Amino acid sequence: MKHKNTLELYEYWASKRAGRPAPSRTDIEPGDIRRLLPDVFICELSKDGKLTFRLAGTGLCNLYGRELKGTGFGELWLEDGIRNATRTGVAVASGPTPAILSLDGLSTRAGVLQAEMLLLPVFGPTGEHDRLIGLTSVFDPPYWIGHDPLAGFSTTGVRFLDQSREPLFLGNRPEIALPRAEREKSAPLFGRSERKVGHLRVLEGGRQD
């Protein structure tokens, strides 16, 4: 955990478990995590395996310039990362193991940001594993947030958390680096030149009317 907000939500979630694999959704009091709420979200896993947003904070919606409630969890990712992100979210919602994702975000005008996402399982009203509560923490938020929506995230690493260890030592669980998927060679999008920033493809020239 690299961001203080990530650790704060994890410690709150752990305190509500009371020895159980996960707390119930009703155990989570919004007032207890008031400072974090803009970046908090809740997803529900349906019986057909779809993971969708039941609630998304204003901070997360602001990153994408739209309301996310009712949309699929995987829609936050660039196309080549949707499958892995969805599988990770479903694994957390359907089981007792939390996860942290290291993320790069690419905006529609080629802005780049770094973030991490915490995913924590919670029990739904039926007592089954069918929900997760999450938090997206952006490092050094760029000035363009709220003006230049994200096109999507790219996952650079995943770490599953061992609940038997204290949060201070969670970093000892190694992060699984995700290699960039092999892409077919193609012409630059919209006829614009491109460059690489890390493993992201960035279009030059900004807005063109």
Q: Is the pLDDT at 185 greater than 60, yes or no?
A: no
Q: How confident is the model at residue 172 (pLDDT cuts 50, 70, 90)?
A: very low
Radius of gyration for the alpha carbons in the chain, expressed in angstroms and rounded = 17
Check: CB of residue 104 under 8 Å from CB of residue 144.
no
Distance separating the N- and C-terminal Cα atoms of the chain: 42
Q: Nearest 5 degrees, angle CA 190-CA 194-CA 200?
A: 110
Beta carbons within 8 Å of 92's beta carbon, 6+ residues apart: 98, 99, 119, 120, 121, 132
Distance from C-alpha of 100 to C-alpha of 5, rounded to nearest angstrom: 12
CA distance 43 to 52: 5
What are the residues whose beta carbons fall under 8 Å from the beta carbon of 141, sequence distance 6 or more?
113
One CATH from 3.30.450.20, 3.40.220.10, 3.90.650.10, 3.40.640.10 for 4-181 = 3.30.450.20
Position 175 scores a pLDDT of 59
Tell me if 64 sits within 8 A of 75, measured CB to CB: no
Nearest to 178 by CA among 82, 51, 84: 84
- Grade residue 127 by pLDDT with cuts at 50, 70 and 90: confident
Q: Where are the domains of the chain?
A: 4-181
Comparing CA positions, the residue from 114, 120, 123 lying closest to residue 161 is 120
Of 96 and 167, more confident: 96
Of residues 67, 71, 65, 15, the one with CA closest to residue 44: 71
Each residue of 44-85: pLDDT tens digit? Answer: 999 899 999 999 999 999 999 999 999 999 999 999 999 999
pTM of structure: 0.80
Report the candidate in 175, 138, 149 with the shortest Cα–Cα distance to residue 66.
Answer: 149
Region 11-40 average pLDDT: 94
